[in-house]
Structures are given as C-alpha cells and as structure tokens.
Structure 1
Amino acid sequence: MASIARSSLLRQVASARPAFQQSAIRAAAFHTTARRQLLPPLPLNDAAPVPPTSPSHGSYHWTLDRLVAASLIPLTVAPFAAGSLNPTLDAVLCATILIHSHTGFQNIIVDYVPKKRMPGVRKLFIWGLNAATAVVGLALYEFETTDVGITETIKRVWTA
C-alpha cells in the first residue's frame, strides 16, 4: 500500500509545474513594451583583428608613461630642496606635468570609449583632449613667462 501511494505522489510532483515558473509566465505577460538598447549590439563570433605593430604603442608607450611619471618626483622636489628657483627647471616641470596629464587622459579615453561602437564620440573626446592640452600648455607658458612661475607660487602658498 505504501508503494502505490508513493508512485502516484511522484507522478503528481513530476507533472506539476513549480510555483516560481508559473508566476514567471504570468509576470511576462504584463511586459508588452519592446526593449530599447542604448548601444548597438556587438557582432558575435567575429575574429579580433590583429593590430599592426608600431614602436610608438604597446611596451614603448607604457615605458614612456612610467618614465614621465617617475621623473615628476625629482622635478617636484629639486627646486625646494636646492633652495634656488630656476625658470628652466620650472618650465621642464610644467612640460612634464602637461605630458603626464595628456597621456593619462588619453589612456582613459582609449580604454573606456570603444572605437568600434562609438567612433564619433571617441574622435570628439580625442579632439577635446588635444584642445584642452593646448589651452593648458598656453596658460602654463603665459604663467611662466609673465608671472612668478609654478614653483615660486607653491613656495608662496606654503609660506603664507
């Protein structure tokens, strides 16, 4: 008698749908609007193109970034440690900061604005970065030639 009851119970459980599956079907009936995608979908199963080799990219580019970043430490400390404010050293510091900022923002644009999906936006960002770098470079040049310079300004702010 126990085996007869058990087999019928198993048939009932096997034929019944789970409760979460029934509620999912009912909830899906209410969604009648189409989904809109913000970006077009990427193509599937396309082989990744191999970029042409270039000495200005890849490891040389990374090495240049590291050298510029490492050179900022002595260029920032040297004028204050030596006690003399040299306009040539100040100009080299400004140029190094400008190059470091430009390559850093360029790396951000390359990493986070894909060329394949948004070529126009990427080009706009690159042109905006180039324009901003030129404006900041001009402003630093004017500040260095007509005013006291970066290191003297920092020295005055610290002693104020």
Structure 2
Amino acid sequence: MASIARSSLLRQVAAKPTNSLIANAARATAFHTTARRDILPPLPQKVKGTVNDAAPVPPPSPSHGSYHWTFDRLVAASLIPITVAPFAAGSLNPTMDAILGATILIHSHTGFQNIIVDYVPQYRTPRARKIFTWGLNAATVVVGIALYEYETNDVGITETIKRVWAA
C-alpha cells in the first residue's frame, strides 16, 4: 500500500512542475530567441605551409606601418587647431576653408582605408578587398569634388559652421 501511494504521489509532484516548466520555457523561447541561421557561409579555408613556417614579413614601406600610423595621428591632431583657427582669428578665409576641407578628406580616407585593411583580409577575399579599395578611392574623389564645389560656389565649411552655431 505504501508503495502504491508513494509512486502516484511522486508522479503527481513530478508531472506538475514539468508541465508548467515546459509551458513557461516555450513562452520564453518564443519571445527571446529565433532559429539559428548563418547569414553568410564561411569563407573557403586554405592552409599554406606548415605550422612551423615563419610568418611572412612584409617589405618595409614609408606609406605603411608606423609611418602610416604617425601620419594618421598627426592629421587627426591637426584637425582641432584647423577647425578652431578661423573662429579664433575672427576672419573666415577661403584658404583656411580649403585646408580644413582637405584635412577632413584625408582623415576620412585614411580612416576608412584602415577599416578595409583590418576587416577585409587580402588573403581570404582578394576580390572584395579590391572592390572596397576602388570604391573608397571613387568616394574620396567624389567627396573632394563636392567639397571644392561647395567652397567655390557656396558659402564654405567655416561659414556654414558659423551659421549653424548661431542658429
């Protein structure tokens, strides 16, 4: 008799939390997660050489490596005084506008170039790297022409900043 009562009691206790647990888990799952889908398939895996081969050292170039990093930092640091100078001097000069526009353009180009170098590896996706690089070069030329037109045919960058600031 004790064994019959015990088994039915255990079945009731064990069945009740499981049903509510499953129901709550189903609601939480429907609310919080979606099916796992790969957005892009993985790139082809290629192994070149062996584990003991040394990493290839790129040839030294003054336009890459530490020189490139130093140039990026100098351009970024020079943006602060170049942006403030026309307003501190009290005169809005087209020459300062041209220097500011060129510095912004160079800073943007080198920044996006660094992103392409970091996130589109040459050895895994050479065609995509070339497409992104040419796209960046084309966009830089278009923005450079647009800045030139804005400087020569409109009010210019510093006058626009002055008007927005006063508005």
Runs of 4+ in 1 over 6 A off after TM superposition: none
1:93 to 80, 97, 100: 100
The equivalent residue for 2:90 is: 83
- Tell me if 1:40 matches 2:44: yes
The equivalent residue for 2:158 is: 151
Alpha-carbon displacement from aligned partner over 1:109-155 (angstroms, at most 9, x marks no partner) = 00010000000000000000000000000000000001110000111
The equivalent residue for 1:7 is: none
**1:72-151 matches, cutoff 5 A:** 72-151=79-158
Counting aligned pairs with the same residue, the percent is 79
Aligned pair count reads: 125
Distance in 2 (CA, whole Å) between partners of 1:147 and 1:130 is 25
User: Which amino acid in structure 2 is aligned with residue 116 of structure 1?
Assistant: Y
TM-score by length of 1: 0.74
**Which consecutive residues of structure 2, in runs of 5 or more, have no partner in the other structure?**
1-39
TM-score by length of 2: 0.71
**Which consecutive residues of structure 1, in runs of 5 or more, have no partner in the other structure?**
1-35
The equivalent residue for 1:67 is: 74
User: Which amino acid in structure 1 is aligned with residue 150 of structure 2?
Assistant: F
RMSD in angstroms over aligned alpha carbons? 1.5
Distance in 1 (CA, whole Å) between partners of 2:46 and 2:124 is 8
User: Which amino acid in structure 2 is aligned with residue 39 of structure 1?
Assistant: L
**1:2-81 matches, cutoff 5 A:** 37-43=41-47, 45=51, 47-81=54-88
